[in-house]
Amino acid sequence: MKLSRLSLIFVLSVALLAGCHVPQFEIAPGNREVQIIHDQYLRSCKFYIPKKLKRKKRSLVLCLHPEGESAESMRRLTRQGFDNLADRDGFIIGYPQAQYGYWNDGREDSISLAHFQNIDDVGYIQRLIRYGIDSFLVDPGQIFIAGLSSGGFMAYRLACELSSEINGIAAVSASLALDQLVECNADTTVSVMVVNGTRDPIMPYDGGQMMVDEQAQGSILSAEETIKYWGGGEPLQS
């Protein structure tokens, strides 16, 4: 799947999940970078606040970049599509930054430093959610996560471990890893959108071992098994 097409699908998938209404409180529009100390690490997140925030059920969407990328590159990858959706629908976008550029997404075969150092990314995202609620008056019932590739695996992990705080996720180019399946205690009320390509050279649509540069990256369910695990219906073909 071409990158431009994948980027478009990624943006549209999140629009379906979170383009909702959004407490009478004036917040300056524009870009805002927030830094927090979590688990002894300085972590950051870039937020985009649209000019017209809706006053009820204000939503927060956190967009998780793929491996080796950054919060800013996630913005470029999607051609600022999320920012445009935020302007249109009045919700807040956040672009969290993974430590070392990689998420500790719950795959035991991951070769990332974040995995080996057991970086607390779940706690970090939880802090960002609370920041959004406290600082932007986000509705706790309107929290959504979107992730691409490793960011998609991280979205699954968050749905498993923070299901009481997250209302929906969209995972693009990512199926549920077997390691995540063993540890998952998700509330089935979490809405899940799965977007995978049948010709993805890294993420096998039918499941099995992921390989990157001839190195194992973990075993995953098929796309259809992932959908069924989350209680979904039949997959849509395009």
Percent of the chain with pLDDT over 90: 64
> What would the mean pLDDT of 151-180 be, rounded to a whole number?
95
The amino acid present at 94, given as its one-letter code, is G
Beta carbons within 8 Å of 234's beta carbon, 6+ residues apart: none
Residue 190 lies in a domain: no
What CA–CA distance (Å, rounded) separates 164 from 159?
Answer: 9
Q: Global pTM? A: 0.86
By DSSP bridging, strand 143-148 and strand 168-172 are parallel
Residue 48 lies in a domain: yes
Query: How many structural domains are present in the chain?
Result: 1
Residue 203 lies in a domain: no
Report pLDDT for 1.
47
Report pLDDT for 35.
97
Task: Calculate the average pLDDT of the chain.
Answer: 87
Residue 183 lies in a domain: no
> What would the mean pLDDT of 225-232 be, rounded to a whole number?
86
Report pLDDT for 159.
95
Question: From the CB of residue 38, how many other CB atoms can be counted at a distance below 10 Å?
Answer: 17
Residue 204 lies in a domain: no
Task: Quote the domain boundaries for residue 46.
Answer: 3-172
**Among the ranges given (19-23, 116-120, 129-133, 176-180), the one the predictor scored with the smallest mean pLDDT:** 19-23
CATH number for the domain spanning 113: value is 3.40.50.1820
Q: pLDDT tens digits for 7-50? A: 555 555 555 555 544 344 578 999 999 999 999 999 999 999 99
Residue 177 lies in a domain: no
Q: Residue ranges of the alpha helices (H) in 162-233?
A: 178-183, 223-229
Q: Between 48 and 180, whose confidence is greater?
A: 48
What CA–CA distance (Å, rounded) separates 95 from 184?
Answer: 25
Let me know: does 145 contact 95? Beta carbons within 8 Å: no
> What would the mean pLDDT of 113-130 be, rounded to a whole number?
94
Percent of the chain with pLDDT over 70: 86
What CA–CA distance (Å, rounded) separates 75 from 81?
Answer: 8
Residue 188 lies in a domain: no
Residue 68 lies in a domain: yes
Report pLDDT for 214.
74
